[in-house]
Amino acid sequence: MSDIVIKAENLGKKYIIGHQDESSRYVALRDVLMQSARGLWHKTMDLVQGKPIISGDTMEEIWALEDINFEIQRGEAVGIIGRNGAGKSTLLKVLSRITEPSTGRLTIKGRVASLLEVGTGFHPELTGRENIFLNGAILGMRREEIRRKFDEIVAFAEVEKFLDTPVKRYSSGMYVRLAFSVAAHLEPEILVIDEVLSVGDAQFQKKCLGKMELVGREGRTVLFVSHNMSAIISLCQKGMLLEKGRLQTMGDMHKVVTRYLSSGTVLNGNFTRKEHGLGNKLEIQRINLENNGKTSTVYYNSQKLVVQITYTVSEQLAGAQLTVEVLTESQECLFSTTNLDGDYEKRELDPGNYVAECPIDLQMFRQGTYYIRVTSSIPCIEILDTIDDLLVFEVFDDSSPLLKLGQNRRGVVLPLIKWRHILSA
């Protein structure tokens, strides 16, 4: 049965952005005046011709989406994945009519409700009760419909006591719960959701995921953007991978996720920074995954993996911390460790080049693929550097006595724990 509800043909979206010219950073007052006068003239001309004001000397066209073709059937739940800036959000914005495409054509059958941000249109001065009606109407619910679901929404959000309090007095958790609860009760034919599950506490997230799954089962078409691979796999059967504005692949969600994880990451177990001088106080230059002193992506779980991080400090820093996160194949964080663990004296770092090594014991790891993310920050104060590329490594089980037995065990890790038995009298 071909019951296509969304069809995109050659869809494209172009943005124009301006760049400040390197050579035009004048110092002398005369030059600055000249520059401003010229800027004023250009802006006035833009206004007369009805062009938007773009600050900068050179302009660049950016294709946020290019040549996108796909079809989505009724009742399908489609997950859209891709790295930051791949065009996922732009695609959702075009789909939900917030912005028009620059090229191509998009045909949509049925009404679309989009949820790009929870709590859109919430007014801080209005009470919870009033905001439910306001937010509901903004998301496309009829008043009668909201009234019918009102009690359900309130119960779901667990804010009964504070219904007549202005939401500006709410705790941020309550605010998010209420906002999400309204959204979770939407019942359009096509539901478009951006990364909104990243808010709220874990328990509430789980509740929302359950509610969304229900929505999918009622025959509605759902489009879902997320970085949370396990959520997206559990919600969607079909996946779409975007890369630099282009549709790379579309098909079975599992396969798309696997492809994304292997294509979007650096496969050879090291990372070398290409762009320098981004002005970070601490810049991570190189990351190496080492097995016995050699770069490697393959490990036996009897071996040790060493994460070697080369970084540059450009000014005196106090309390800077490097964090290594180990992620599972579905990008859930297995654990994270920092170079300051167990060393709580705030260390002063003088400018210079440093090498940090983090040895990781692989004994507990199950056989499979893992990822490593490295970040640097001064805790609670600022983020110093984040490496978007994930490093990958694979663990093979060679020695563990659990190799065979462990296949069907539950659990993310597989520790070998020696039990003690004591005969009690």
Partner 1 sequence: MSTPEFQVEGAPTLPEEPVLVLEPGRADRNYWTDLWRYRELFLILAWRDISVRYKQTVIGVVWAVVRPLLTMVVFTVLFNRVAKLPSDGDAPYALMVFAAMLPWFLFSTSLSDASGSLINSASLISKVYFPRLIVPTAAIVAAFTEFLISFLILVALMFHFRFAPGWNILLLPGFTLLALLASLGPGLWITALNVKYRDFRYVIPFVVQLGLYVSPVGFSSSAIPNEWRFIYNLNPMVGVIDGFRWCILGGDSPLYAPGFALSLMVVTFFLWLGISRFRKMERRFADMI
Question: What is the contact surface with partner 1 in residues (CB under 8 A)?
Answer: 15, 47, 52-53, 74, 93-94, 96-112, 114, 116-117, 120-121, 123, 125-126, 130, 133-134, 137-143, 145, 186-189, 218-220
Q: How far is the CB of 220 from partner 1 (least distance, A)?
A: 7
Residue closer to partner 1 (CB basis): 183 or 362:
183
Q: How far is the CB of 212 from partner 1 (least distance, A)?
A: 14
Residue closer to partner 1 (CB basis): 55 or 336:
55
Q: How far is the CB of 410 from partner 1 (least distance, A)?
A: 34
Residue closer to partner 1 (CB basis): 166 or 319:
166
H or E element in which residue 90 lies: helix 88-95
Question: Measured in whole angstroms, how far is the alpha carbon of residue 235 from the centre of its chain?
Answer: 16
348 HSE (CA, 13 A, CB side):
2
Residue closer to partner 1 (CB basis): 218 or 345:
218
Q: How far is the CB of 82 from partner 1 (least distance, A)?
A: 20
- Type of residue at 119: G
Q: How far is the CB of 219 from partner 1 (least distance, A)?
A: 5
Q: In which residue are the tokens 């979007």 written?
A: 264
Residue closer to partner 1 (CB basis): 106 or 402:
106
Instruction: To the nearest 10°, report the CA torsion of 362, 367, 369, 370.
Output: -30
Encoding tokens for residue 56?
A: 């900068």
DSSP sequence for 367-421: SEEEEEEEEEEETTTEEEEE--SPEEEEEE-SS-THHHHGGG--SSS--------
Residue closer to partner 1 (CB basis): 109 or 304:
109
Residue closer to partner 1 (CB basis): 141 or 231:
141
Name the phi and psi angles at 65, rounded to 5: -140, 140
Residue 177 to residue 180: CA distance in whole angstroms: 5
Please compute Rg for the chain using Cα positions: 26
How far are the Cα atoms of 18, 43, 44, 45, 392 from residue 49, in angstroms, in the given order? 18, 10, 9, 6, 52
Residue closer to partner 1 (CB basis): 97 or 254:
97
Q: How far is the CB of 94 from partner 1 (least distance, A)?
A: 7
Q: How far is the CB of 226 from partner 1 (least distance, A)?
A: 17
Of residues 102, 34, 395, the one with CA closest to residue 245:
102
Name the phi and psi angles at 10, rounded to 5: 50, 35
Q: How far is the CB of 146 from partner 1 (least distance, A)?
A: 10
